[in-house]
Amino acid sequence: MNISENARNKLSLLLPEGATGFSVTGFVGTCRGSTPVINPAQKAQVGQETIRCEGLTFFVDPETVADFCDCTIDYDPSFFGKGLTATWPHRAGCACNS
């Protein structure tokens, strides 16, 4: 997993007091570019794996772990930017129609 400096800074700002990390429950999109579905959390839910990267903690659902571990998270702060995005290597069965 890779997190850009922009993404790390934005996620650090979004983490409220009392939360220890982010719960990751999936992605909206495909390997070519998606939005991670994340929420601040105090701890992992039952079945979630804990992943630490770049000083951030993520609690990841089991069906999302493979894509999340391979992904690159970036943040585009520009006016027409995409915001927080995730991309990962293409896999067979992906809906990206490549």
pTM exceeding the 0.85 threshold for the entire prediction: yes
Structural domain includes residue 47: yes
CATH code for position 67: 2.60.300.12
Bridge partner residues of 50 (DSSP)? 59
Residue 42 belongs to what domain range?
2-87
Structural domain includes residue 97: no
Q: How confident is the model at residue 88 (pLDDT cuts 50, 70, 90)?
A: confident
Structure tokens at 78: 């520009």
Q: Are 68 and 60 in contact (CB under 8 A)?
A: yes
- Strand blocks (E) in 1-98: 2-3, 21-30, 33-41, 49-53, 56-60, 72-76, 83-87
* 3-state SS class at 44: coil
Count the domains in the chain. 1
Which one, of 25, 62, 20, lies nearest residue 40 by Cα? 20
Model confidence pLDDT, tens digit, residues 36-87:
999 999 999 999 999 999 999 999 999 989 888 889 999 998 888 789 999 8
Structural domain includes residue 83: yes
